[in-house]
Amino acid sequence: MSFSFWSRQVSTAFLALLLAGCQPESEAAGQDNSAGQAELGAPIPLGRNFDFYVLALSWSPSYCEAEGEDANRQQCAARRPYAFVVHGLWPQYERGFPEHCATAEPGVANERLRTLYDLMPSAGLIRHEWRRHGSCAGLSQDAYFAVLRAARNRIVIPPVLAHHDDDFAVDPDAAEQAFVEANDGLSPAGIAVTCDNRYLREVRICLTRELGFRSCPEIDRRACRRDSVVMPPVRGP
């Protein structure tokens, strides 16, 4: 069974009314994480030698469906209880981005991996993201993953997108607006919903090095242009 959600003709007033009837909840890797609604607490380690971050939140069921047998088994096993997960926290220049920077910490220890599975449910993904992107943040591994967690906790997932039991057809522009409405200070110029030919794949949110919201034209230009995409359901609890 599938159903659609929000045509392009939906009004901003209706969207605001819909969201007002729901108490936003933050969700990391399919689990409740109310810290996302709180003010940022401890000082954020300040990265260097880049301009801003992109926090990429992947709709895990889309990844699992799209990749099929090639999908990571740790993330896409039969029960597949993951919703929005962290794909990565990417240092960016105003144009382009650094990658694969020199680091004294090339590997990620198993002990650290276990502390991150609530955010990123794949050891291979964590190691890849550190080597390609985290190494370019100008931070120690401890500090980078602390910033990654703080960035995820910064974001409130709109309840209407957090979990559903069937294939869910959604207008990417409406999904973007739902995130804007749920996160005070986030503007449409600072977020991009991405897709492939069928599925909603990611929500990418631009953040300052202090984790404030900011605009990012280069990222925004890459947003999904389809009228409707599918969010497959979460499997398991």
In the set 25, 39, 65, 129, the catalytic residue is: 129
Residues 87, 176, 181, 202: which is the catalytic one? Answer: 87
**Tens-place pLDDT, residues 149-171:** 999 999 999 999 987 888 989 99
Taking residues 36-61, report their average pLDDT.
83
pTM comes to 0.83
* Angular region, 193: left φ>0, alpha ψ -120 to 50, beta rest: beta
User: How far is it, in rounded angstroms, from Cα 42 to Cα 33?
Assistant: 17
Q: Which of 27, 133, 181, 202 is catalytic?
A: 133
* 100 is known as an active-site residue: no
8-27 residue pLDDT tens: 444 344 344 444 444 444 33
For 186-224, write each residue's pLDDT tens digit.
Answer: 999 999 999 999 999 999 999 999 999 999 999 999 999
- Can 128 be counted among the known catalytic residues? no
pLDDT tens readout for residues 122-158: 999 999 999 999 999 999 999 999 999 999 999 999 9
Catalytic annotation present for 129: yes
Match 């925004």 to its residue by tokens. Answer: 220
What the chain holds in terms of domains, given with CATH numbers, is: 2-231 (3.90.730.10)
The pLDDT, as a whole number, for residue 10 is: 40
